[in-house]
Every structure is written in C-alpha cells, then in structure tokens.
Copies of this chain bind each other. A is one copy, B any other.
Amino acid sequence: MKRIYTFGNGKAEGRADMKNLLGGKGANLAEMNLIGVPVPPGFTITTEVCTEYNEQGKDAIVALIKDDVEKAINHIEELTGNKFNDSENPLLVSVRSGARVSMPGMMDTVLNLGMNDHVVEALARKSGNPRFAWDSYRRFVQMYGDVVLGMKPKNKTDIDPFEEVMDGVKAEKGVKLDTELDVEDLKKLVKLFKAAVLNATGHDFPESAWDQLWGAICAVFDSWMNERAILYRRMNQIPEEWGTAVNVQAMVYGNMGETSATGVAFTRDAATGEDIFNGEYLINAQGEDVVAGVRTPQQITIEGSRRWAKLQGISEEVRASKYPSLEESMPECAKELIATQQKLEDHYKDMQDLEFTIQNGKLWLLQTRNGKRTGAAMVKIAMDMLRAGIIDEKTVLRRMEPQKLDELLHPVFDKAALQSAKTVAKGLPASPGAATGQIVFFADDAEAWAERKKKVIMVRMETSPEDLRGMTKAQGILTARGGMTSHAAVVARGMGKCCVSGAGEIEVDYKARTVTMGGKVFKEGDWISLDGSTGDVYEGLVSTVDAELSGDFAAIMNLADKYTNVFVRTNADTPRDASVARKFGARGIGLCRTEHMFFEGDRIKAMREMIIAKDETGRRIALAKLLPMQRSDFEGIFEAMDGYGVTIRLLDPPLHEFVPHQLATQKELAEEMGLTIEEVKSKCDSLEEFNPMLGHRGCRLGNTYPEITEMQARAIIEAALNVKARGIDVHPEIMVPLVGVVKELQMQADIINRTAQTVFAERGDTVPYKIGTMIEVPRAALVADQIATVADFFSFGTNDLTQMTFGYSRDDAPKFLKFYKELGIIKTDPFEVLDQEGVGQLVAMGTQKGRATKPELKVGICGEHGGEPSSVKFCAHLGMNYVSCSPFRVPIARVAAAQAAVEDAQ
C-alpha cells in the first residue's frame, strides 16, 4: 500500500483523477506538475492514512509512515536545494489538509513550518530581508499555536492570547498597524508569543522542524474528527471513512521584495462569462494581503487595468504609475502566467480560478480549480466552449447548475444600488426575483392602490385564498409566517412573483397598519424592496434591472430537449400563467387547481351558496351558477395549451376555506340567502376542523357531494367540446385528488364517465379524455397496484405526501424545522428538496406498483418538487413520464431532467 505521493519539477506520482485517494487539492497539485505548470515541490499523505490514523492512533501511524515522510522531505530538499531543519539553507514548508470536498471545521493551513531561532537568521541572511524573515517567524508561531496547538479561541468574545500580546506591543510603541512594527518589535513578539504558548499548553514551542511537522500532520488528521467537521459531515452526508489527505509543500514567497508578488485570477469573466483573462495581484505581498483590503490590488492585464481605472475615475497617468498591470510591471512573468492560464483551461476544459505567487521573478502556481460563476456566465462559458469544440453537448448539460438558471429569468436588483441598501429583515427565498414598492397590508388596498398605478408590496402575517386578488396586483409579497410551501410561497411562485416568506422577526400590526423590521416601524405607504432569491428585505426603493433571455439560454434549452426522456409541464391555474409557462417551454399543464377559480367576484358568492345549501337541490342550484364560469376558465386554458394535455384537478380544499369568517360577511351572506345569521354562523362553525389537512377534502368531498364532481366534469367536457369546435387540439385529463382507497377513485370515475357520456350525447360530438389521480396520501402509494386498475395516470402530489409521510404540517412545521436544520437533524427542508430516503421510497413504490398493474400508466409529479433539480433528477431516474412545476421553474426542470438522461446513458 502506497501511503505517500510526491510531486515537483514536472513529475508526479498522482493524477487529477485520484481525488478519492489524494483529496482535491493533492490531485490537482500532481496534475499541474504533469502538464508542466510550475508548482512548488511537495508530497501528499493519502486519505487512507487518515482512516488508519483514526483506527490505530497517533503513535502507530507516526511509526508507520516515518520513513516515507522523511524520504518525501528528502525529495523536496533535492528539488529545492534547501535542507529541512538546516541553519544554512533552510527548507520551509506549508502543511494543508485536503479532503475530497472542501470542508469547514478542518485544520486549514500552516505556513512557514520549519522555522526556529537559527533558521530565521539564515532566512534573513539569504533573503537579505530581516524584517521579512522575522515577520514570517512571528506569523508561523501564531498560526501554529492557533491551529496545531489549539490556542485559537472558540468564541469570538474570548481573549486571543496572541492578539493580546500584539495589542500590548503596539500600544507600548504607540502604533496601530502591524506594518509599523520593525525587526526588533517582531523579535520581541516571537519571544512573547512563545511565552504565551508555554503558558497555554504547558510545553515549550517546538524548535525542531521535524517535531513541528509531525505536530501539523497529526493536527490535520485530528481535525477530521473534531466536532464541527463531524457535524458538517452529518449535515452533508459525507462518510467518515473518506478521511482527509495532508499536503506538504515547499514554501514560496510573494513578499520577498519588489520582484516578488502574489495574486488570484480567472481564465474567463466569472460574472458575464466573456472569454477575458482577468485577475488581481500585489507586489511584495502575501496571499492574505490581496483579500485583506488594506492595499488596493492591481489588475493583471493592461486591458483589465484600463477598464478598472475608467470605472474608478483614475487617469491613465496615475494608473500607469501607481497601479500598473502585471503586463507592465513584470512583463515576462505576465507572459508566462497568461500562457499558463491558457494551458490550464485547455487542460481542464473549464474556466479556472488560479492562485499564484512570484518569488524573485519566478512564477509558481499554488492552486487551480474550476471557478465559481453566475448563472449567465455558466450558460455563456459552456456554449462558447461547445462552439469552440472544447466540450461536447452532454458536458454542457452536465455543467449546468439548474437552480442558477433562475437568475436569468427574473428581474434583479441593480448591483450598484444594492451596495447602499440597508437590510431590515431576512426571510425565506420563497419565490425569486426583485420587487420594490409601497407597503400595504390588505388585499383590497393592494387592488385599490394598484388601480391608481402605485407599486405595492403586500405585507401579511400569512396569506389565504382571500388575499389572492391582492397578490395578483402586488409587486411582491412579504409574510411573517409560513415556509417554502406556504400559501404565499406556492401562489407567488406560480405567478412568478417575488415573495419572501416566514420572516419570523418582523412584527405586523394590522390594526395600526405598521410593520416593525430591523428595529424600525414602517407604515402603510412606506417603500421597501424584496429579494426573493435571497430572502433579503431592504429599506426604501432599490432599483432593479430586467432579465434578458439570451440566445445561449435558448440553445441550452434546445440541448436539454434533445437529450431528455422526461417532458416538463407546468402548474398553472389561469390562461396567463399557462402562456408564460409555454414561453418557457412547458409542454402541457400538470396541475390546474380549480379552487382558485372560485374566489373571484360573484363566484365566491355562488360557492358559499352551494356550501350553505341545506340539501342536494340547493347545492345543485348554486352549482349551476358556477358551471358557466368554470367552463369559460377551462376554455381559456385549453386554448393556451393547444396541442398539449391539460390536467385539471377536481375541488380539493376543505369547504371551510370558502366560507366567511367575519360576522359582517356572514350577515351579508345570510341576507342574500334568506337565512338567519345564526344558521349561517352555525353552518360555518360546523365546517371547522381540528386538522383540516387530514379532514373532509379532496375526493372525500366529491364522494359525499357527487354533484360537485358532476358539475366540474361537465364544465371540463363542455369546454373541451367548445374549443374543439374552434379548431383547438384539446386533451383534457381529469385528476381526482387525495385518493387513498381504490373505490374512492372508482366512484369518482363513474360520475365523470357518466357525465361525459351525457354531454357527448347532448352535443352529438366527443372528445378524448383521461381520468387519473394524485398519489399524495401514503396509502395510495402502498396500494398503487389497486389504484392503477382504474387510473389512466398518476401524478405524485409530493407536497401532501411529504406532509403525511413526515407528519409535518407545512403551515406549522417551519417553527421547528428551523431548529431541526440548525441541529443537523435534517439537511434540507423536505418541502423544498424531495426526501429521497423516505418519501422517495413511496414515490418509487407507487410508480413500480402502478406500472406493474398497467405498464402504459402515465406517471408524473406535480408537487413543488417538480421544479427542484435534485428532485427532478430523482423522478427522471425513476422513469416518470413528466414533471410539472410553476412556470418560472420550467427551464430549470428541463435542464435537470436532461442531466438525469445523460447520467442514465452513462
């Protein structure tokens, strides 16, 4: 078993594809050597040694790898000509951890290891820069003390022994900045730091480079098992047995003087995706100085430098003299860097994020990795590389992070404006986009203000179906309660409207018409801005810019459709939503909720009349009023989806949601219906349920009041025949909600078929239709084989399925799910990301059992998960026919589905 892999001088024992063994960092360091990129020589101790360490303990492992480590140090000594633990030509090294994936909580880095009182003198001599040498020494003692000896305070409020010493020395000298300390000060610091170490640990600071090295290696291994790392692994489901590698590398210095420098760079523009090499550097500096912000970093290329100066309002003269580009200040090094970045991008075939150091005019690469980028850059870079023949179509699709496409679909805040905006609250990013407007608290006001051309943001404790009309008119919605699948969140996403939900700290006072956020009281009419993609709430008006759907975006979509096995439908309740979704590529409607149609104008009156009616006759009279309205709704939707299937769900929510709860409205209803207020009140009260989610709803309504199903079936079939007569290609699919027992579906199907036959006979014309069911009650998945005997299609309603499988009410759960995430009990909100382990078993079981009965059964998903990439992939891998999601998530789902197909093909 080989435990140590060396690299350096264009050679390496490892490779890029050995990430599991060498960790990500180690594998890339090896790979850069192999392709001729200058990397300081070093070696990697494998992740397997970490596992052995945890099993056998420190002493056993040190004994086991001692010879190999010494040989590997020897290897560095040979390549650098320096010697470890030597007072003439000392070799200093860095020690870094490196797991397969980067992990917070792990020991990160120790620099300058190998330093002691003799070595520092040699370094001062050789560099001709005693301040550099002593500064490196004091940094080393501090860093080693912090990360290896565990002296870093656990809490920010605790005293840091090194900072305390540093503050004392600076105060004594009367200076503020570290850079104001001279060599003598630094010598004093080293002495005092070492005393602090003795004080804290009871041991002298190790003088031997070997002792230092073993301490650091073991500290890396120990950090794999520290509390924070364990918690992180639990939350991210990273197996303990993966272990971490340890990378030991010769030090190089960017702070040795005016011919030394350090910097970071991207091979392309990470914001726009343009193929422009760009980056920043500082002369005579260390890596941390570039990010610290004390000095102004300079641009690497002349072109970049000039653009930067223009934006900053700096003249070309000042720029050239004070902030020259690397191309100007070190033309040779710049040339080599530009060649190297190209070589790395060509090799990795993706945009790279680089770290480099120039030591005395010699360029060294310290790290390369795939660079993070915006959604727009992700799309452009992938398509540019495809067109250049660098990557193939499947790779383009694999590279997409589908969720990031969202950035391309919604208006966004102007980045400049955001910098001066003040955050006053934070909630859940319930529905993406940027919105800005004046606060209103009630749906009526939202409508009235909007009519007067005002932009409004609706602020509510939570929303209910009665708020629907107001929500339509608002720019965005902010709620204090409710999670990612609360009424507000679901409806807003359906509308593609910005929404921040569950902003628990805000206090809404409906009576006073105020909301208190960030310690300030906002009144009705005050301006606020919401970022539905981050959950941020800003004070005042923050300006926005509209999103543009570029040609590359369309190209990605076409690619997705070329490879996918799953088509994407949309959840839409109105012709408008249906049209939007169709523009985004939806091929049909997977969920049209009919209940939303009952809230507008006279409809709610007829609906209430139906509910309050004393008997079937009374209900039929009211239903007859609703029939033409529903029919015309369906006609509009069928027209918008010409040529595609439209799945219409029958009435689902408990009737209680439709009746008035306020005395005034109840009185009104009583007068209209010629009843006493007591009668109306008592009927409304009798509909109250302890747990409405598990109550009299879904097909339980349709089976106890068959006349409701009859009316809806009639409206659907009549609408279909009407639009067919107008030349529309119509495919109605009638979906029965909340089925748990096959007979429930059978009885509904009987009513629908009977009604359809009646209408066909009346009209002398027919239209094909399907009858299917939601699989949303756990029992439905368990007996899916029986249910499939009646159903033409299944649509997994994973919102309710998640509620019932976990026993989480989506309205109540956010309260404890917040803690559950913090405690690491759950990794993701199961209402956002489908719980593949639990709920997913039922989805798989339902699909398999259903198809076992009826191989041609059409299977899809219409819960909110239908637009979440990992969930879409899960459904695609299961072999579903379609996924359905809110209009603005359609592109995301299309790409995720295509990725699943590419994965499956492998």
A812 with B779: CB separation less than 8 A: no
Is A819 an interface residue, CB under 8 A from the partner? yes
Q: Roughly how many angstroms separate A741 CA and B235 CA in the complex, as a whole number?
A: 13
Is A832 an interface residue, CB under 8 A from the partner? no
Interface residues on A, range: 35 or more
The answer to whether residues A811 and B778 also contact, given A703-B823, A816-B696 and a CB cut-off of 8 A, is no
Pick 27 A–B contacts, CB within 8 A, sort by A.
A690-B692, A690-B811, A691-B691, A691-B692, A691-B693, A691-B694, A691-B809, A691-B811, A693-B809, A694-B813, A695-B815, A703-B819, A703-B820, A704-B819, A741-B825, A743-B826, A747-B823, A777-B805, A777-B807, A778-B778, A778-B804, A778-B805, A779-B807, A779-B835, A782-B805, A783-B837, A804-B805
Minimum C-beta distance from A598 to chain B (A): 20
Contact flags (1/0) for A675-696 with B, using CB distance below 8 Å? 0000000000000011111111
Q: Roughly how many angstroms separate A780 CA and B692 CA in the complex, as a whole number?
A: 23
Q: Given contact pairs A234-B743, A695-B815, enumerate 7 new A-B contacts (beta carbons under 8 Å).
A: A689-B811, A691-B809, A693-B694, A703-B823, A778-B804, A778-B807, A779-B835
Q: Roughly how many angstroms separate A10 CA and B197 CA in the complex, as a whole number?
A: 109
B234 with A694: CB separation less than 8 A: no
A779 with B809: CB separation less than 8 A: no
B740 with A812: CB separation less than 8 A: no
Q: Roughly how many angstroms separate A816 CA and B744 CA in the complex, as a whole number?
A: 12
Minimum C-beta distance from A790 to chain B (A): 13
Residues of B within 8 A of A776 (CB): 807
Stoichiometry (number of copies): 2
Is A800 an interface residue, CB under 8 A from the partner? yes
Q: Roughly how many angstroms separate A811 CA and B806 CA in the complex, as a whole number?
A: 19
Closest B residue to A819 using CB positions: B704
Minimum C-beta distance from A417 to chain B (A): 37
Minimum C-beta distance from A430 to chain B (A): 18
Residues of B within 8 A of A768 (CB): none
A690 with B693: CB separation less than 8 A: yes
Among A133-141, A289-297, A838-846, the stretch that binds chain B is A838-846
The answer to whether residues A690 and B809 also contact, given A703-B823, A778-B804 and a CB cut-off of 8 A, is yes
Give the one of A689, A741, A813 with max B CB within 10 A.
Answer: A741
Residues of B within 8 A of A837 (CB): 782-783
Interface residues in A691-729 by Cβ distance below 8 A to B read 691-696, 700, 703-704
Is A36 an interface residue, CB under 8 A from the partner? no
Is A808 an interface residue, CB under 8 A from the partner? yes
Closest B residue to A820 using CB positions: B703
Is A824 an interface residue, CB under 8 A from the partner? yes
Residue from the list B778, B779, B812 in contact with A695, Cβ < 8 A: B812
Is A630 an interface residue, CB under 8 A from the partner? no
Q: Roughly how many angstroms separate A824 CA and B696 CA in the complex, as a whole number?
A: 17
Minimum C-beta distance from A709 to chain B (A): 14
Residue from the list B744, B783, B823, B835 in contact with A838, Cβ < 8 A: B783
Is A870 an interface residue, CB under 8 A from the partner? no
B696 with A825: CB separation less than 8 A: no
Interface residues in A716-774 by Cβ distance below 8 A to B read 738, 740-741, 743-744, 747
Is A359 an interface residue, CB under 8 A from the partner? no
B838 with A747: CB separation less than 8 A: no
Residues of B within 8 A of A820 (CB): 700, 703
Is A570 an interface residue, CB under 8 A from the partner? no
Minimum C-beta distance from A816 to chain B (A): 5
Minimum C-beta distance from A357 to chain B (A): 43
Across chains A and B, which 10 residue pairs bring their CB atoms closest together, nearest first?
A: A694-B809, A691-B809, A779-B838, A695-B812, A690-B811, A777-B807, A689-B812, A691-B691, A691-B693, A743-B825
Q: Roughly how many angstroms separate A805 CA and B803 CA in the complex, as a whole number?
A: 11
Give the one of A691, A696, A826, A842 with max B CB within 10 A.
Answer: A691
Residues of B within 8 A of A809 (CB): 689-691, 693-695
B779 with A805: CB separation less than 8 A: yes
Residues of B within 8 A of A838 (CB): 740, 778-779, 782-783
